Amino acid sequence: ALRQKYLGDYEPRRRTSASKNSTEFLCAPKCFCLNAIHNSKNTMITIDGKQIANTIRADLKEKIKQLPSPPGLGVILVGNDPASHLYVALKEAASKEMGVRFVKKIFPETISQADLLHTIRELNVDDSIHAILIQLPLPRGFDEDETIAAIDPAKDVDGFHPQNISALLNGYHNFIKPVLAQSIWALINEGLVLQNRMSVHETLHALLIGNSTVFTIPVATYLKSKGIKTDAVLARALSKPLLKQYDIIIVACGQPGIIGSADVARNTVIIDIGTNKLQDGRVVGDTDFASFAHTECAITPVPGGIGPVTVAMLMKNTVDLARRAMKI
């Protein structure tokens, strides 16, 4: 069994083989294998996002101790959406636990776009704030594109600023990577390790299913940079018979149970980003999770999958931005 604890830069090593379309993944000392097990036949593997997040946080705590001053994260929240307030509370709790200075700016929906932009500009010039986040979605009537573009690219913790997205699409390296894309890659990496598939001589093939190219294009580009052949499709155009040709499926379309075990290959790695609240109060993803019990798939649960990892990666980006600002 693989039991190597991930400690470093959140990347497995990989090397390109002689074949143009082949990438070999190596289970290196720096991988996310926290509790890898030998998978018996027809037994689903759950990819535990909480354990991955705990490993990231433990590493970051040590890095924060070495900084001359605490990293600063500024978060702007507009309106009364319960989900948005919950997400901000989770980020605040993580910041407090790790020693990150957390500055929260909460505004009613009546704030003007001009005043919102003014607040962003104030955070841009505040040297104690190294990272800025706009909690999305903004209420109707606000210009999200203009709001995100107002953030100093050097403080764009989510990686949504047009300049940072452009750097990603053009293959540059010295920029902040999108939190969601990094989180998805960490979960894919863990799933492959748990399946003992980290030495693969053929290019792995991934499919992104979403409702918007705002999600699919940056994530697809990031995965391609990691050696994963990646396709993307909007949920409304999804052809289920094609799913079995993919090694990895990432789904984020807000449709509970849209993908079941009969739709995919027997050992697919599935990253479920959907968050859907049912009438009985349960929160579920976009997969029919229970249907995978007797498969060899590796799958993220909802909750407990993508959520904890994105918060941890947000902390990672915050620390990275602080280190850059401090020239460390």
Domains of the chain: 70-176 (3.40.50.10860), 202-307 (3.40.50.720)
pLDDT tens string 76-131: 999 999 989 999 999 999 999 999 999 999 999 999 999 999 999 999 999 999 99
The set of residues, in sequence order, having a beta carbon less than 8 Å from that of 203 and lying 6+ positions away, is 21, 22, 23, 227, 228, 229
Q: Using pLDDT thresholds of 50, 70 and 90, give the confidence band for residue 202.
A: low
**Predicted confidence (pLDDT) per residue in 53-90, tens digit:** 999 999 999 999 999 999 999 999 999 999 899 999 99
Which residue is listed with tokens 């992104």? 208
Rounded CA gap, 53 and 313, in Å? 8
* Cα gap 64→201, rounded to integer Å: 38
Largest interatomic CA distance in the chain: 59
Tokens of 320: 């990275």
Q: What is the pLDDT of residue 197?
A: 84
Strand partners, 101: 72
**Rounded average pLDDT over 271-300:** 95
Rounded CA-CA distance 193/277 in Å is 31
Give the predicted TM-score (pTM) of the model. 0.86
Q: Looking at the predicted structure, is the pLDDT value of residue 200 above 60?
A: no
Q: In this predicted model, what pLDDT tens digit does every residue of 263-285 receive, in sequence order?
A: 999 999 999 999 998 999 899 99
